[in-house]
Amino acid sequence: MNTETLMGDEAIALGAVHAGLSAAFAYPGTPSTEIMETLQAMAEKGATTADGAKFVAQWCANEKTAYESALGASYAGRRAMVSMKHVGLNVAADPFVNSALIRIHGGLVVVVADDPGMHSSQDEQDSRALAAFARMPCFEPADQQEAYDMTLEAFEFSEKHEVPVLVRITTRLAHSRAVVKVAAKGRAQNPVDKAPQDMSWILMPAVARKRWKALLGKQADFRAYAEERSTLAAASKKLGVVTAGLALQYYRENLEDFVAAEGEAPSHLHIGHYPIPAGKLRELCANVEKVLVIEDGYPVVEEALRGVLPTPIPVLGKMSGELPLDGELNPDLVRAALGLPEREGVPAPGLPPPGRPPQLCVGCPHADSFAALKEALLEYPTHAVNSDIGCYTLGALAPYNAIESCVDMGASIGMARGAAEAGLRPTVAIIGDSTFYHSGMSNLVDAVSHGTNTTVYILDNQTTGMTGAQPTIAPSSRLKDLVIGLGVDPAHVRVLDAHKRSHEASVKAIKEELAHPGPSVVIGVRVCIEAYKKERAK
C-alpha cells in the first residue's frame, strides 16, 4: 500500500490503471475532464499496468463515439473505461442504454460526473436516475478513497455480471483532494480475447428480447449486491437517516453536534450501490419514527421511498422541504435538516459584495469575432444568433450581447436552420470548433441537403477552450476541407482572421454570406490564448 493525495478524478484514473485498464476514452467536460488528463499524463510518463503493458487513453469526438470505442474494447475482451460529464451521458444515451443488454466481455466502467449546483453546466441532472432507466448497476463513492476502491470493484462486478457499471461522482468529489491508500501494483490487463460468438452482441429484435429478459433477470443479483454493500447502523428509534454517496460526509460533519443535542445518534443507512437496496431501507424504517434522506442531486432514494401511497412513517428530505430540491448539498443545509441551530459567526458585513462573473480572457479571439458579426448584422433589424456551449457563450453578457441561445452542444446549427426554415431570416449559428466536431457536423449536413438559408460561424480557436484547452479531434488546417466535404459550396466557405486587424475584411465577408440565400460557413481562425500558453509551457 502507498498513500497519495488525489482528487476524485485522479483517484478514479489510478483505480482504473490498477484494475488492469487497457483502454480509456472520453470527451472533455467539467468536472470529469481530469480523469482523462490524469490517464494521459500517466501514459506520457511511461506508466503501465502491473504487467508492464501500456494502456490507451484517447480523447474522442463526443461522448457517444467515446462510449462506442469503449464498447469495442470490451468486445475485444479488455477492460475499458469511458468518462464524461452528466450531460455527456445524454449524447451517449443510445449506446449506454443498449449496452446494458449485451453480454459485456472485458469489464466496462462508465464514469459520469454530475454537477449539482451547476458550477459549470446547463442542468443538474442526476445520473443515478439514468442508470436506473438503463437497468444498470451504479456505484456512488462517498470520498476519494471509495472513488479509487469502487473503480476496481466496478471492473470486477462488470466482468462477473457481464454488464457495464456506472460510477457516479459529483463536482465536489471530482475536484476535492484527500489522502488515498492505493495498491502498490495492481492487476495485469486482460489478453485480447474476442467475445464468444453466441449472438449476445447482436441486438436484433429476436435476440434483444432474450437479452432484455437476461438483464431483467440479473436485477435480483444487482439488488442483492447493493443490499450487502450498504451499511445499516441501528441506534436511535426517533430518527433514521439515509445518506447516499458524498452526502455521508455532510452528515458526519454534524453528527457530533447532533449527539450532543439529542443524546444519541440517529439510526443510519448509507447507500453507495444501486439499484436502491429496498430491503435495507425497509429494515431501517421499521425501527424508527421518521426518516431523513440526504443525497446530492435529485431525490432519487427519497422518491423511491415515498412511492405513491402514504408512508407508514414521515419521510423528510428534498421533497418535503427539509432540504432544497435544487443546488449543491453542503454541511450547513444538512445541519438545518437535522434540526441543529445555525452556528454563530461574525456579523455580516454591511456591504453586500456584488458577484464577479467570469469573462473572456483579455485578447480572446471570440471578442473580435463578436465585434465583426455585430457590425455585419446592423443592417438587419430582425435576425437570430443561435449559439452553443463554450467560452463564446459569454458572448451573451455585456459588453458583447451578441448571442441569443445556448441549449446543448450542436444546437446552434440545428436551431438556426430550423428558425430559417420557419421563416426567420437571417439566422446565424455561432459554434466553437470542438463543439462543431462534437455534434455540429450532422446539423450542417441537414442544412446542406435542404439548402437552408443560414450562416454558420465556426469560431476556430484550435482548442476546446472552455474545459481547459484540450486538443480538438481534428486540426484546424483540415476544418475548411471538412466543411466542403460535407457539401457546402466552396464559394460560400470563408476563412477569416479572427483579429481586430482584419475587422473590415471580416465584416465584409460575413455580410456577403448573410446575403447568400443558401447554407454558408464562415470560419474565424485564431488560437485561444490559454491553449497558446499551455503549448508554450510544454
Partner 1 sequence: MKYDIVLCGVGGQGGISVSVVIARAAMAAGLDVKQSEVHGMSQRGGEVLAHLRMSDKPVASPIIPRASADLILAFEPLEALRYVPWLRKGGAIVTATAPLKNMTNYPDPDAVVAELRKIPGAVLVDADALAKEAGNARAANVALVGAAAKYLPLEASALEAAIKDLFARKGDAVVDANLRAFEHGRRANP
Ligand X SMILES: Cc1ncc(C[n+]2csc(CCOP(=O)(O)OP(=O)(O)O)c2C)c(N)n1
Q: Is 467 in the site for ligand X (CB under 6 A)?
A: yes
Q: Is 74 in the site for ligand X (CB under 6 A)?
A: no
**In the numeric block, which cell numbers belong to residue 264?**
444519541
User: Contact region for partner 1 (CB under 8 A) — 10-18, 202-210, 245-253, 293-301?
Assistant: 245-253
According to CB under 8 A, which one of 104, 391, 420, 428 is a site residue for partner 1?
A: 391
Q: How many residues bind partner 1 (CB under 8 A)?
A: 51
Whichever of 19 and 529 has its CB closer to ligand X, that residue is 529
According to CB under 6 A, which one of 22, 121, 461, 472 is a site residue for ligand SF4?
A: 461
Q: Which of residues 160-189 bind partner 1 (CB under 8 A)?
A: 171-173, 175-179
Q: Is 529 in the site for ligand SF4 (CB under 6 A)?
A: yes
Whichever of 361 and 424 has its CB closer to partner 1, that residue is 361
* 430/125 Cα distance (integer angstroms): 26
* 37/55 Cα distance (integer angstroms): 14
* 514/511 Cα distance (integer angstroms): 5
* 266/268 Cα distance (integer angstroms): 6
User: Contact region for ligand SF4 (CB under 6 A) — 79-87, 116-124, 397-405, 527-535?
Assistant: 527-535
Which string of b and e fits 492-524 if b means at least 16 CB within 10 Å?
Answer: bbbbbebbeebbeebbebbbebbeeebbbbbbb
Q: Is 341 in the site for partner 1 (CB under 8 A)?
A: no
| Nearest Cα to Cα of residue 63 among 25, 32, 30 | 25
* 135/274 Cα distance (integer angstroms): 10
Give yes or no for a contact between 263 and 121, defined as CB atoms under 8 angstroms apart: no
How far, rounded to the nearest angstrom, does the alpha carbon of residue 357 sit from its chain's CA centroid? 22
**Cα-flanking dihedrals φ and ψ of residue 425, to 5°?**
-140, 150
Q: Least distance from C-beta 356 to partner 1, angstroms?
A: 5
According to CB under 6 A, which one of 78, 318, 335, 366 is a site residue for ligand SF4?
A: 366
Q: Is 464 in the site for ligand X (CB under 6 A)?
A: yes
Q: Least distance from C-beta 155 to partner 1, angstroms?
A: 26
Give yes or no for a contact between 495 and 506, defined as CB atoms under 8 angstroms apart: no
According to CB under 6 A, which one of 117, 266, 414, 432 is a site residue for ligand X?
A: 432
**In the numeric block, which cell numbers belong to residue 462?**
484550435
Angle at 242 between CA 238 and CA 247, to 5 degrees: 130
User: Contact region for partner 1 (CB under 8 A) — 133-141, 151-159, 244-252, 303-311?
Assistant: 244-252
State the residues that interact with ligand SF4 by CB under 6 A: 360-361, 364, 366, 391, 461, 465, 528-530
Question: Contact positions toward partner 1, by CB under 8 A?
Answer: 5, 30-31, 33, 119-120, 171-173, 175-179, 246, 249-250, 252-253, 330-332, 335, 342-346, 348-351, 353-362, 391, 394, 398, 465-469, 530
